[in-house]
Amino acid sequence: MSISVKALSKNYGTQKAVNHISFEATPGKILGFLGPNGAGKSTTMKMLTCYIPKSSGEAKVCGFDISTDALEVRKNIGYLPESNPLYHEMYVKEFLFFVGEIYQLRDLKARVNEVIELTGLKKEQHKKIGQLSKGYKQRVGLAQAIIHNPNVLILDEPTSGLDPNQLIEIRALIKELGKTKTVILSTHIMQEVEAICDEIVIINKGEIVAKDTLQGLLTTHGEKSLEPIFVKLTKDI
């Protein structure tokens, strides 16, 4: 088990952003983490990547506890945050060298060239990040997330705002990465989940309302697609 989450909670003051959630994620599978705006997806991802502390509960990444083994957790995780914060004044290669140095990677030049190849950045590699299109900025975000070859990838809305061509290419890349790594991906695009996710967790108002495979959810709810199930489980009544 690469990710194990048990009764994990996060309170912001009196607000329960994430409330006692439990789920697991395994290598070679892509887990779609879905929920309406404000459901608690980013908060969960930030706890798993040790960006914010939990309020209670437990989570382990590759056996390492997010509260007591943050350094080991970070070594094992690649994270693409929702806003994809990048240094716009840096050149693509310069930025990837910078990230690789933080991880103290050996043979960094070869690794930077490898991730540039993997993420399809070759023809844009000499540009400044600020000069790149949104899709290529996402590729840089993915490149920095995988540069240290982590076992687990946490991707917060990796395809939001991309044109259909970029979307297809980034999805294909994520699917490829998901063959060997444990991937947790949040998205609002139901077709994306249907296309690439093996497991689905739906969170609403900080609580998990569904946890199954796509086929399992379709069968349980007697539907042919995910959208009506998502609406049924998360709409305000």
Ligand X SMILES: Nc1ncnc2c1ncn2[C@@H]1O[C@H](COP(=O)(O)OP(=O)(O)OP(=O)(O)O)[C@@H](O)[C@H]1O
Residue 135 near residue 161 (C-beta atoms within 8 A): no
Rank residues 43 and 119 by Cβ distance to ligand X and give the closer one: 43
Q: In what order do the strands lie in the sheet with 77-80?
A: 77-80, 152-156, 182-186, 30-34, 199-204, 207-213
Q: Does 150 bind ligand X (CB under 6 A)?
A: no
The pattern of x and - marking residues 13 through 32 that bind ligand X according to CB under 6 A reads --x-x---------------
CB of 209 to ligand X, least distance (A): 13
- Binding status of residue 43 toward ligand X by CB under 6 A: yes
The secondary structure of residue 184, as a DSSP letter, is: E
- 39 is a contact residue toward ligand X (CB under 6 A): yes
- Nearer of residues 58 and 82 to ligand X, judged by Cβ: 82
The reply to whether 12 sits near ligand X by the rule CB under 6 A is yes
Helix, strand or coil, per DSSP, at residue 6: strand
Three-state DSSP class for 86?
coil
Residue of 41, 54, 139, 171 interacting with ligand X (CB under 6 A) = 41
DSSP codes, 29-61: -EEEEE-STTSSHHHHHHHHTTSS--SEEEEEE
- Nearer to ligand X by Cβ, of 113 and 160: the residue is 160
Task: Give residues in contact with ligand X (CB under 6 A).
Answer: 12, 15, 17, 35, 37-43, 82
